Structure 1
């Protein structure tokens, strides 16, 4: 895959960059070690993406008829409903130190998250008014969600900016999307547990999501 880090851990990489700037430019040993660790991690991710690709393909063909493959991430997705075109367009904002940055809008959603064996590990509750929807700012969710929400590219002031999302315009209010994503774009090597300590998501698990966008707006 030519675009391994297209949006993979985008926000984490920003934080790494900030941290790196605090190191002395003379600390060549530290930089060399960081490059070595990055190379090992990238090779690990590449291997997982290759290993999981046929599993995700088979799953999408059986459980998400009509799904298409995003080649650069290995995510299979289907947009069931496009939503209201133009309901959110402010994907790029002025950066704190100049230039442009991705905005981090707050998304209100209804969703279901499942393992590939069909077990539901998380969902909103249609019968519970207090948990009928949930809200998150983008950038605080797993990379697969960020990739699902942001557009492929943005044209702003006559310039084209490649963002790396799944859809042309990004998810809009009322959109419904379903996708299955490789584990590096989900929780990667982390094991997730419930409040009782039971494992809900084993490490290196690809995940299946269906998301309905109730609203999307600038984070205040």
Structure 2
């Protein structure tokens, strides 16, 4: 398809269709659709992008950036509205659970610093491959192509500041809060008093405590 000038729209459509199909295939198999689409994106970024035509590569990049901005705005609005749509702001907020969970998240994200050199090495290699492919398709001379390759490799390097942002922010809790909200709505974590039918309606259920802790962490990070 990359050799056909009039197939740019089809290339872009396939780039959207494969992640969509991988997500629903995983959900149909009762697996994690989020993890499936994550690995699908990693594979497509490595193997699909270099095989797209120049126009399709630019089109898909701009479209995915646009959708990412829209999705990010939706997540922020969703988390902000959750304060008013869920019983979050109660006097019996489990601050200890939120603090322990936050510390566990920070400890679990320390691998960002440990694997930073390896990540930069892989990113430089991928950037070099992409720059070489784009250079071969252009009409620039060898010196200009070499300069573009070096610039692409420099731009691909993640600095310690980037690593700190990844460590502190993580995924910003949008997916985690959606899962916690679904568990709270389905009463997946019933209160202990429900087994003895002694609930008064004022107890802090485990599901609500998890929901509160997740939202507080998402807002903080």
Provide the TM-score with structure 2 as the length reference. Answer: 0.29
Provide the TM-score with structure 1 as the length reference. Answer: 0.29
* Larger strand percent: 1
Q: Which structure has the bigger radius of gyration?
A: 2
Bigger relative contact order, structure 1 or 2 (CA pairs below 8 A, ≥6 apart): 1
